[in-house]
Amino acid sequence: MVKVVSTLVAFFSSTLILGQLQWSPTTDPGVGTIEHLATGPTPGSLVTLQLGNPIRPFVSADGGNSWQMKNGLGTPNGAFAYDLQLHVTNTGTILIFAGFGNYYVWRSIDGGDTFAQLGTMQGIPDAFQQGFHSAQNGEVFLFGTGVLRSTDDGATWVQIVPPNVTLDAFTAAGGHFFAAHQGTMYRGNLNGTGFIPLSTAPYSTDPTLGLTMGINQRVIACGGSDRVIASSDEGLTWNSAQTGLPGSLSTVAHLAASTVQDHWVCGAAQEVHFKAAGSTVWVPATNGIIFQPGFPIVRMCSGPQGALYLHTYDGIYAADISTGLHVVSAMDLRLFPIPATDRLVVEHTGNMLGMWSVLDMSGRCVVHGRALTDRTDISVGHLEPGTYVLDLPDHGTVQRFVVIH
């Protein structure tokens, strides 16, 4: 056993790169083409949609390891809905905006089984919208043709920015929201007052394709010639943040930031780049992603404890780089972390796992057990941060993973 581990140490030390991001595929939710993904308020909560008749939410509470189909009663026929946007509020309410003759919002407070249709009586105008956003204080926004605001978890809405203002991107940081159209950046108070244009000079993200909020109320924008810019003083001054991005990535279309550490991820088409906390340089970050021809990145987003997600039309990928566990190599087995419980889940399709041991990089066994099924949950919350090896002698394989706190 020690001989095997010493060989592994040499191999792993040559492949582990500081600041490298590793993506792990989630289980296929079974919705066909994956056009929408939203994160919920609890660690590992995800929602996607099957665009049938009716539209059915598929929800996961464990970071995409397992999915549950909801009834979706009250939603329209997904084959005829258009301009659809999906969102989950800070309380877990599911919101769907779509055109179906007119534009409406469908709202579910029972996890996706039943939906109520909201229209002009609830403050939803018959107008195109780009998307939703939830602020940290629980308010919900719908933006695109102006800005709508809800203070009751999406039940009723009020127009706080007039509909003659077109907006393409939106985020909220502290007591303000930030929005953009083409090369113009705006800032307003959360209630809509004080809505003014901002100067990002000498930098430009025209056209601005994404806005997100990082830690410490940092506002990050992407798009245009400067690709990524950021402000740490609520939009008063801006700095370029594109060091390390290659010339091939001429426009950054997608952007997400961890909510607990200063980690950022960005990309476009089939390129992904990662900037770790404390670094000013972006590095390539497609490890673990299998891009199929013609299937670009659709969206990037972050979860409530810092996990980052992205999806293409045929797969969802997760990278937990802020808390708990981070899988570095999965080889022929499936490993995935559940950070909220400090557990590592191991699966081997169709075969009993048998004996297993977790070894530190000196070869010392730190925890062991036996699994009589094709799945086991291993508690590793007590382990010190570092790289470990999961040894599965019955299968003649080993797996590497990293614990970070």
pLDDT tens by residue, 27-47 = 999 999 999 999 999 888 999
What confidence tier does 168 reach under pLDDT thresholds 50, 70, 90?
A: very high
What confidence tier does 125 reach under pLDDT thresholds 50, 70, 90?
A: very high
Whole-prediction pTM value? 0.78
- How is the chain split into domains, by residue range? 20-323, 334-403
Is residue 206 pLDDT above 60, yes or no? yes
Residue 9, H or E segment: helix 2-13
Cβ contact 140:95 at 8 Å: yes
pLDDT tens by residue, 219-245 = 999 999 999 999 999 999 999 999 999
Sign of CA dihedral 140, 144, 145, 146: positive
Ranking 230-234, 338-342, 375-379 by mean pLDDT, the lowest is 338-342
Q: 369 or 19: whose pLDDT is higher?
A: 369
What confidence tier does 288 reach under pLDDT thresholds 50, 70, 90?
A: confident
Is residue 327 pLDDT above 50, yes or no? no
Per-residue pLDDT, 334? 65
Is residue 324 pLDDT above 60, yes or no? no
Architecture of domain 20-323: 6 Propeller (2.120)
Q: 352 or 340: whose pLDDT is higher?
A: 352
Q: What is the mean pLDDT of residues 252-261?
A: 90
Report the relative pairing of strands 386-392 and 375-379 from DSSP bridges.
Answer: unpaired
Per-residue pLDDT, 320? 62
Per-residue pLDDT, 177? 96
Is residue 11 pLDDT above 50, yes or no? no
Burial category of 304 from C-beta neighbours within 10 Å (exposed 0-12, middle 13-18, buried 19 and up)? middle
**Displacement of CA 278 from its chain's centroid (Å):** 21
Per-residue pLDDT, 323? 40
C-alpha to C-alpha distance for 267 and 255, rounded to whole angstroms? 7
Is residue 404 pLDDT above 90, yes or no? no
Q: State in words which class domain 334-403 has.
A: mainly beta
Compute the mean pLDDT over every residue in the chain, rounded to the nearest whole number. 85
Please compute Rg for the chain using Cα positions.
Answer: 22
Is residue 382 pLDDT above 90, yes or no? no
Per-residue pLDDT, 336? 64
